[in-house]
Structure 1
């Protein structure tokens, strides 16, 4: 009986150990419902997980993150926006979605329109900002697409500032992530996007009572509410979106231990994007590390002159890379001394660049600057000058020694002369 118990216990322990061992295997990414999904490291732009990352989808109100970006980059928070006198007539279709009920001739601060844009997802806020910045929705759409290309977006085709459905208004999950990556750098965005409640002050067209009733805003991003089951620690902000054609979409950013991640979920039939976003962010923070390889100004390598002089080449900026937490790999690079064809080096000027690889995979490019000012001719002249200085010192020493010897000789002659007399 004792032997049987011993055998059973041994088998149980073996099974238990096998079960524990499976947890040491690499963790698979969560299964999320969106047709277009991206989990991006914000510092490097590296995609940690993706599904149909470059496929275009109608983005609905997640469009408004580009409108917010252009507003922050082209205006000041206290700038006054004057609503045009025909605004309500030409923008009557905006009533199909959320609005602030802006009135013709109303004067309102940019900051308050941004709160309306990001908290209530007000379509008229988006149009008012677009007209204020570019004069018209059409011109603003051109600006949106231009800025998207500057950010590295390859699929963005914006037709309006609010995301109301247009068959040509499309963007990919990757491009939305790139836009939020840039937007999340601005503290103004993070402050607004993480504010739970906000009441827009009275304007020239509204009294305080009407404002409290119609313009008391509640943030639609549930990840920001502390104490709620959806709350996510470190969230920097986000934006929801929905139309019948686009289905559900959601973008969010979160930072923990100076590591920021971006998540994009597009064209999701299920309204589980908050849960999916939390799962993706957990996957990212739990399984990946952000590492710094070089700091700005740090010596990366040296350029060697034929005369043996070594010129330090320094990093033009910080260089980061991402690894999974089990990896011990370090970035490598090749530097060809003969590839540099310059006559002189000026401190702080770009000399060359290097490609960095991790496990033989390209991870980025780094510009190298000269760490010193150096010119072969100047150094040669300096050498000549130094040699002349040495000669001057030598000749001077010899001259002084000669004077001393001559003085001693004269003293001796004087003494001899005195003795004779």
Structure 2
């Protein structure tokens, strides 16, 4: 597809940006926009982290028990590092025993194995179990909440602050849907040896059997996590995930009006996550996507290649992707084969953008002395050359 090279001044050198519109298929009929009754929502691809849909996804809101994912993630991290063991026994304080809301039903002045406490949090959503964990790790729930907030920043969760280990209503206890999705992705990716607990349907403690509250288990094939939440302030929310044919998607939302609406919306959004999106391959590894101007080279340009396949997850109605080559140039010769030169920015119609490094596809030698003299003379007479170029497109 023909492209026109655009040159602008940047930091004293030429910066080149070459844009192309990649047509993937004949124009499709306009699809109905994705909507949700939830006040806040996000759909994310687990493997790439690509956001497929979002609604108020960066607004900090009361996460209720979905914030227990952070409590669990901190434990998982310490288990993986060896700081903790599943067989460690944690002491139950009176504060934990008296805690209201959803409960594991711990008994004061007893000790409980950490593995059982994790199931009490993950399966039973036990507030009491969360406090037992917090106090035994940090000395107090308040100190543990500080660890939670510190870990949130370390893990790139920009819109999360924690006041407790449970999700109990507090004006300083907030998370965004994007942060919950990112945290869910981290738990699944980094702690597979412990993540299986999220798929357990029930757990019995003190002869009290409690079922997992996740409605996706009975509604969506491949569902295996993660956490529901509910308070009067937050409404009904869910962080859910499922895997189908090797593809995993994450759905997080908050602010539905009832348990029934949460269940139906969870099923609907997960169906959209799998059925309404496809992966399109734009370039294969080794494909030439354009060229870079070369200064003082025996050739005027060098082909630019990608080293990895480039694909995007697109809505089925999408038929166009914009690709832009960005580099500082002209690039001074000599240019070595496989030398990195700039990057390729690929953007969908929905605004999702990703960047990939570009490399020289061949070596371009520097001009000899007489060649440089001739180039200098030509430049003085006619000025610098700004050729048009062609870019390879799928």
Same fold, judged at TM 0.5 (above): yes
Is contact 1:321–1:363 with CA below 8 Å preserved after alignment? no
In the alignment, does 2:231 pair up with 1:237?
A: no
2:317 aligns to what?
A: 326
Superposed, which structure 2 residues align to 1:327-406 within 5 Å? Answer: 327-330=318-321, 332-336=323-327, 338=329, 352-359=342-349, 361=351, 363-367=353-357
**Alignment pair present for 1:250 and 2:255:** no
Secondary structure of 1:177 counterpart: helix
Report if the CA contact (8 A) 2:104-2:124 is conserved.
yes
Mark the CA change 1:360 to 1:173 in structure 2 (over 3 Å): closer, same or farther.
closer
- SS across alignment from 1:83: strand
The 5 A counterparts of 1:172-211 are 172-185=176-189, 186-188=191-193, 190-199=195-204, 211=205
Counterpart for residue 373 of structure 2: none
- Within 1, Cα distance between the matches of 2:183 and 2:168? 19
Structure with more contact order per residue of length (Cα contacts < 8 Å, sep ≥ 6) = 2
Aligned CA distance change for structure 1 residues 313 and 104 (closer, same or farther; 3 Å): farther
Is the 2:306–2:356 contact (alpha carbons within 8 Å) kept by the matching residues of 1?
A: no
1:108 corresponds to 2:97: no
Q: Please give the per-residue CA displacement for 1:327-369, whole angstroms capped at 9, x wherever unaligned.
A: 333452314362768999798x976544222359461122457
Normalised by the length of structure 2, the TM-score is 0.69
Is 1:290 aligned to 2:283, yes or no? Answer: no
Q: Distance in 1 between matches of 2:272 and 2:352?
A: 23
TM-score (normalised: structure 1): 0.65
Structure 2 unaligned segments of length 5 or more: list them: 1-27, 367-394
Q: Which has the higher helix share?
A: 1
Specify the SS of the correspondent of 1:357: strand
Q: Taking structure 1 as reference, are residues 51 and 312 closer, same or farther at Cα in structure 2, changes over 3 Å only?
A: closer
Which residue of structure 2 aligns with residue 220 of structure 1? 213
- Looking at structure 1, the residues matched to 249 and 164 of structure 2 have their Cα atoms a distance apart, in angstroms, of 27
Question: Which whole-Å CA distance do the structure 2 matches of 1:250 and 1:168 have between them?
Answer: 20
Match of residue 262 from structure 2: 273
5+ unaligned residues in a row in structure 1: which ranges?
Answer: 1-22, 200-210, 226-230, 378-421
Query: Which residue matches 2:65?
Result: 61
- CA contact 1:83–1:102 (8 Å) conserved in 2: no
Counting matched residue pairs gives: 331
Q: In structure 2, the residue corresponding to 1:248 is in which secondary structure?
A: strand
Distance in 2 of aligned mates of 1:312 and 1:30:
40
Answer whether contact 1:312 1:370 (CA < 8 A) is retained. yes
C-alpha deviation, 1:284, in angstroms: 2.5
* Deviations 1:131-176 (CA, angstroms, capped at 9, x unpaired): 4444443343233223333444332111122111112111222222
Counterparts of 1:346 and 1:106 in 2: how far apart (Å)? 64
Contact 1:116 1:217 survives alignment (8 Å)? no
Larger strand share, 1 or 2: 2
Residue number in structure 1 paired with 2:74: 70
Shift of 1:60: 0.9
On the 8 A contact 2:66/2:228 being kept in 1, the answer is yes
Whether contact under 8 Å (1:41, 1:47) holds in the other structure is yes
CA distance in 2, matches of 1:79, 1:123: 19
Cα contact 1:234–1:255 (8 A) shared by 2: yes
Aligned-partner Cα distance in 1 for 2:113–2:319:
54
Summarize the Cα distance change of 1:361–1:237 in structure 2 as closer, same or farther, 3 Å threshold.
closer
TM superposition shift of 1:250: 1.3
1:35 to 34, 39, 46: 39
Change (3 A) 1:298 1:61: farther
Q: CA deviation at 1:91?
A: 3.2
